[in-house]
Amino acid sequence: MRIVAFFVLFFGLIGCRESVQPTLVDKPVEVRRPQSFPPFEFPADNRPTALRIQLGRQLFYDTRLSSSNAIHCGSCHVLSAAFTDGRATSPGIAGIAGRRNAPTLANVAWMKRFMMEGGVPTLETQALAPLHDSLEMGTNMMRAVHRLNEDGDLKALAKAAYGRDSIDPFVVTRALACFQRTFVSGDSRYDRFLLGQKDQINEHELRGRDLFFSERTQCGSCHGGVFFTDMEYHNIGLYAVYSDEGKARATHLPGDVGKFKTPTLRNIQLTSPYMHDGSIASLEEVIAFYNRGGEPHINRDVRVRALQLSKQECDDLLAFLMTLTDWNFVQQKDLLPLER
């Protein structure tokens, strides 16, 4: 009798362990790149694999990364809004209003520096910012990893993905970055048009495109290239007096007051409200703002000045901006939380 009980117990335990921690086998993954995008190298210590991306995906939507246990990265970076959140500034824990408008995370793999004043050099280090910011997630990395390590399945996944015995800050920041580098958006109507599908864009939109890239508006000189950003910092005269000093917060130089990283205009139709503080509600109003030429500010870029665009020209510009939406991107199921 005792022997039978022993076997039942013994095999029962083995069976049980196996179901909790199945052997996870990882494999390299190739992140697809639209034809027109420049090649991109993943960092040597964070090459993409199926399990790294899966771990990053789980962490991106994990509320254990916030002290209130109520928000995750995806609370402010919502896929259907191209990873923005539709709010002027994002409330963090306890509903305290944040300072800035959540930017899109589309194509972050190609961005050179992060945050609107460019204070963060890599996507790996960027994840530390919301985790420590009391207005956003308000927890800190050591507390977060402690909580995550209580989860055996997650630990097994982290071990298979990065070869570490426990979940540590290295694993969390790299997995989050690895997942975010799969946010690739380059399939708008305008992209298809550039690849030769001429019927994707109508006359009205073409006139808008010509205006956008013209000497007259200079829009394309800052919002140029495949990502519709020069990745530089400019003051566009949004205010005569800035309460958020932008780049000067990082450099403390008076000449940098009011300078912000040029935002990409890909998916711009989906990412309202606009500007660093979400102060402009619609694209029509953004265009009206540029048409007026901005507020007087000593650092205002000379390219921003009254444009004298007619109503028709404003409409054309708007129509062009609407061709930059990638509807497939915002419906990509593998960017949503894993279904359980």
> Which positions lie near ligand HEC, rule CB under 6 A?
65, 71, 73, 75-77, 90, 92, 98, 100, 102-103, 105, 108, 111, 114-116, 123, 126-127, 130-131, 136-137, 176, 217-219, 221-223, 234, 236, 238, 260, 262-263, 265, 268, 271, 274-276, 283, 286-287, 290, 301, 303-304, 317
Q: Shortest gap between Cβ of 209 and ligand HEC (angstroms)?
A: 11
Min separation Cβ 266 and ligand HEC, Å: 10
Can you tell me the distance from the alpha carbon of 315 to that of 291, in angstroms, rounded to the nearest whole number?
Answer: 12
CB 102 to ligand HEC: min, Å: 4
Report in angstroms how near the CB of residue 57 gets to ligand HEC at its nearest: 11
Q: Concatenated DSSP letters for 12-63?
A: HHHHHHHHHSPPP---B-PPP--TTSPP-PPPGGG--BHHHHHHHHHHHT-G
Task: Tell me the closest approach of the beta carbon of residue 35 to ligand HEC, in angstroms.
Answer: 23
Judged by beta carbon, residue 131 or residue 161, the one nearer ligand HEC is 131
Residue number, 21 or 207, with CB nearest to ligand HEC: 207
**Cβ nearer to ligand HEC, comparing 51 with 239:** 239
Number of Cβ within a 10 Å radius of residue 332: 14
Q: Measured at the alpha carbon of residue 258, what is the angle toward residues 252 and 259, in degrees to the nearest 5?
A: 85
Q: How many angstroms from the chain centroid is the CA of residue 197? A: 28
Question: Which residue has tokens 């265009």?
Answer: 287
Which of residues 27 and 254 has its CB atom nearest to ligand HEC in the complex? 254
Phi, psi (rounded to 5 degrees) for 54: -65, -40
- Angle 295-323-272 (CA atoms, 0-180°, nearest 5)? 45
User: What token pair was written down for 72?
Assistant: 């995750």
Measured CA distances, 86 to 70, 75, 104, 270 (Å): 19, 11, 11, 8
Measured from the CB atom, the residue of 38 and 196 that comes closer to ligand HEC is 38
Cα atoms in the Cβ-side hemisphere of radius 13 Å centred on 294: 22
Query: At its nearest, how many Å lie between ligand HEC and the CB of residue 254?
Result: 17
Q: Is 193 exposed, middle or buried (0-12, 13-18, 19+ CB in 10 A)?
A: middle
Q: Which is nearer to ligand HEC, 157 or 236 (CB)?
A: 236
Query: Which secondary-structure segment (H or E) carries 207?
Result: helix 203-212
Least distance CB 9 / ligand HEC (angstroms): 43
Instruction: Return the number of the residue (77 or 189) whose C-beta is nearest ligand HEC.
Output: 77
Taking the complex as a whole, the smallest distance from the CB of residue 11 to ligand HEC amounts, in Å, to 42
Nearer to ligand HEC, 51 or 217 (CB): 217
Q: Spell out a b/e string for 232-241, using b for 16 or more CB atoms within 10 Å of the CB, else e.
A: ebbbbbbbee
Provide the token pair at 91: 């409330």
